[in-house]
Chain A
Amino acid sequence: MASRKLFALPALVRVTIARSARPFSVLNRPPPRYEGHVPLNAFERVTLAAGSAVMSLMNPRRGDLIAALGETTATPFFIYRLRDAMLSNPTGRRILRDRPRITSKTMSVTKLRALPENGVGRAYVSWLDREGVSPDTRNSVKYIDDEECAYVMQRYRECHDFYHALTGLPVFVEGEVALKAFEFANTLLPMTGLSVFAITRMKPAERIRFWNTYLPWAVSNGLKSKDIINVYWEEELERDVDDLRNELGIKRPPDLRDTRRSLREHKRIAREKRDMMGGLRAD
């Protein structure tokens, strides 16, 4: 019955079915859906995800691998969830309509420096200065098939530095892991969760600090706060940063650099005391 109906279809329909059924292979890659898009099949996707996960754990400075890990693990579900979070929010929808990009051209550092002292823009630029990075150090998305979701991933990536500015967490492994845990609780992107495995690279004292202070902070703030992907950063540059934190429902974590500095100071004083007392432990 069913087969008879299939053959009753006009010839044109049958041809279309046959063409779309041609298998995806290295030799027959579908055309890209947007500029820079690289369509992957399931096997390629899984291999790339596994490979980039292992390699980025060995070398956390490889931003390109972390980017590839983020893109290959974001589908099928997570990036759509994040896009839907944007589509449910008026500002998020506006971002998706305008599709703003954050580069050194659109975010001129000199203009940002002229902004009010405690504004978001100033916090961002002082964070850039302190960490010595630039808005242009972001890769473009290639492995996400849906064009709009690719933009969402791009937006998340470009806003990542604003999240640093907002939370004040630094770029070295400890701060990055804490921020990734926060992002995971907030955006549910698997890469941000997987990045938490980088704690295996941390010193025992850092690990204890992570478990006791930064992870609880990240989980509670990430879950309770609004979706940070829906912040139109370009429009918030002059806004008071504490004001924005309050609106989003984020509490600032203890400053990691200060903590480290004071701990180092503490150790140095202890060492000096020890030396003065002839090598006996004084702490």
Chain B
Amino acid sequence: MNRIDKIIHDKSRELLNIYFTAGYPHLDDTRDIILALDRAGTDIIEIGMPYSDPMADGPTIQESGTAAITNGMTLETLFGQLDKIREETQVPLLLMGYLNQVMQYGLEAFVASGKRVGIDGLIIPDLPMDIYEEEIKDIITEAGLHMIFLITPQTSSERIRKIDQLAGGFIYMVSSASITGARQEITPAQLDYFYRVNDMDLKNPRLIGFGISNHQTFQQACEFARGAIIGSAFIKHLAANKDRVVSATEEFVHSIRNEVSDKALS
């Protein structure tokens, strides 16, 4: 069973999905961050493959990607770092990046490398649904991986249904029409959207992402979905604590779970 399906099946509480950029703040932080996130209670981890032109991401994630590339991160290096990670953790792992990176590595080689190190799913925001169906889906499903798709407030109900048919694992519900990290609070318009999609009774569970930054917004998002995704807020916390990546990671997760107060965060 895919580890994403297993955790969605096994855990009733709010699922916490955290994104980090591989190779940031330091090239070799990847394993330490994954293990610290897992220890502190993260349910799903999204490993960002740093990209020069990440059009679906905001400035915080782009800057972390630029720094990671400067640090020397490549896909080859990343797969090397993830080698045998499954001897240490069973937390579901996703790779998040852009289609050009996968194309240049080679789709089949990419899937094989992902499979070898124990990746469970992929998020490729600029991969169109029809290209996925025609050129990619068979290879992904044969490898037992899930392709995660995004929906937004502008996505029509008809299209959401189609995405629900194609998607595996969960649906990444973009909370508002905005780039990652751009918004702070949940607005009435977002509530309407959450209720609308809630009522659609989709086969895949939903995780809400974009603008989730602390315990309060995490809790709010979880009222409307199985869990939530945090990216920029975690990257910002790492940026402020580059010299103590492991403890900073653990305290961040605890603060989202509210096991320590938000004020403990520097």
Chain B associates with chain A: no
**Contact surface of A with B, Cβ cutoff 8 Å:** none
**Contact surface of B with A, Cβ cutoff 8 Å:** none
